Structure 1
């Protein structure tokens, strides 16, 4: 784990401090990539961390493949109103709708257990290596959740993607999701990174915000029961609705 246990109720660092850090980061250029593969640990990670990249790539004529490693069935483990099967149904459909909003095809689903990806890291690495190998396009880029993000599924996906990219000569970008909740710009993990920032056009920003709005199961309560509280309360979701996205190279 990259940091302490994630507390979604914590305020986190003020946006102004992150804005100052982003201003010191290099810009992320979109070269003539033939394809972008975006790997998400859970349905919604791909939009939270890379939705703007996806829609920007599509606008530039770059083919995009989205891969969701789990179906997100464990987002509300204590829910008495939504069991794992129902949650998976909701999140699969939300991810399909969000992808369409971004101009991409429905995600490829790998179906690994939500919360248990670490037990299947070798299998995931093989699957991602095969997928990238099948694509076989020189210059393709893979964006995956950051291997130090603070969530075991995210970190496992980052490690597996890094290994698969190394084996297939694919450029890797990693995007943070939960980092914004626990880190600060001077955190040792961030000092080890090479961050780059993608500035979103107004159209790309608007499309990302529309895509995020499809994940109602994550930012709205499922019921009045405390176990059904949002996983992405408003103060957390707001961190992903700004005009930039950050990637580690």
Structure 2
């Protein structure tokens, strides 16, 4: 049983306290699923919002013959822009284009150091005050790798932005050890997003390639978000963790 329902609630006006915000997005759709409500509330409060897409998103349907890998990437990046626009975010996302399903996890792996430097420069250029990033043990390897990449980028800054960690796959796949432990020194909370839930749901639906009937229809083994997974995000709150050490 997930403990999320027991977390304290912060009201929608919490968003106004976060300042210019960057969301780290492992794959197109994670921004809408995990943080669509908060992004809409940030924009409603007049706060600048930026996005950094980590992976190229091509491996949801790797066996498509109609859509090549570059074509799949173009579709998914277009869906990301559409979803962000529905949430009120019109800034051009940073596209790191690391390999989907194989995002590097540390500086010894190709592409990690370069991507961390790109991300660091993006944070500094946009004077980001708060970073939204995947929960450090969200049960998908690209989400965990994206967290590590963000930590490497932020460590090189003279002053680290505030960090809020969001959940996507922990809603469905979390083992007990994936959830916050005492040693993590984090506190969980629920953000009330009821007033912008319709925007969040529209942003999720904008990722047409990931919801039935889909776009890449010639790959029968390809990924689509299941109805029971989507139901986890049709709720008037989102879950976040923040370090309290």
- TM-score normalised according to structure 1 size: 0.82
SS where residue 126 of structure 1 aligns? Answer: helix
Q: May I ask how many residue pairs the two structures share in their alignment?
A: 226
Q: Which runs of 4+ in 1 moved over 4 A?
A: none
Matching residue of 1:44: 29
**2:27 and 2:53 in contact (8 A); partners too:** yes
The one of 74, 99, 119 aligned to 1:128 = 119
1:27 aligns with 2:15: no
CA deviations over 1:26-57 (Å, ceiling 9, x no partner): 33433533301011011111111011110010
How far apart, in 2, do the equivalents of 1:50 and 1:71 lie?
Answer: 20
Say if 1:188 and 1:227 are closer, same or farther in 2 by CA, change over 3 A.
closer
Say if 1:42 and 1:188 are closer, same or farther in 2 by CA, change over 3 A.
closer
The one of 180, 191, 214 aligned to 1:190 = 180
SS where residue 60 of structure 2 aligns? Answer: coil
Structure 2 gap ranges (5+)? none
The one of 220, 231, 239 aligned to 1:238 = 231
SS where residue 210 of structure 1 aligns? Answer: helix
Please provide the CA RMSD for this pair.
Answer: 2.0
The one of 206, 220, 232 aligned to 1:226 = 220
SS where residue 91 of structure 1 aligns? Answer: helix
Structure 1 gap ranges (5+)? 1-16
**2:79 and 2:207 in contact (8 A); partners too:** yes
The one of 183, 204, 207 aligned to 1:215 = 207
Say if 1:151 and 1:129 are closer, same or farther in 2 by CA, change over 3 A.
same
**2:135 and 2:144 in contact (8 A); partners too:** yes
